Amino acid sequence: GITPIQSILKSLDENYESIVFNCHHTTQDTIFQKEQKQFSEKNVKMIHVLSKENNGLDEHGYMDEEKIKKYVPDYLERDFYICGPKPMLKIVTKALKKLGIQKSKIYFEKFTLG
């Protein structure tokens, strides 16, 4: 869920560097593309991770520790905010734990459809 993350990003100081992993099945599933482009013009790095499409531009597959290490080299000093369906939360939380991220640095919000 990008909506809660967008609210957080709007409230942050522009000098604060943020990295957002926006995970979807395909590029067509990506919502709020205009707003995301505006964030990328600030100090926000937007990484798209597509599970069912390999377009050569975005990351392919599911979120894992390798993608986190690649884009967030200082991951041990960062806080992580996760929002999405329960299966995605489990995958990302597992990856963060494998990297040794403390539980106190992981914040999440679940949502369900329908």
State the Cα–Cα distance between residues 81 and 97, nearest whole angstrom: 14
pLDDT value, residue 74: 94
Across the range 21-49, mean pLDDT stands at 68
Q: Where are the alpha helices (DSSP H) in 1-114?
A: 2-11, 33-41, 65-71, 86-98
Question: β-strands 106-110, 80-84: how paired?
Answer: parallel
pLDDT greater than 70 at residue 47: yes
Across the range 19-30, mean pLDDT stands at 74
Half-sphere exposure of residue 35, counting CA atoms within 13 Å on the CB side?
A: 12
Structure token digits, residue 111: 């949502």
Band the pLDDT of 58: cuts 50, 70, 90: confident
Query: Average pLDDT of the chain?
Result: 79
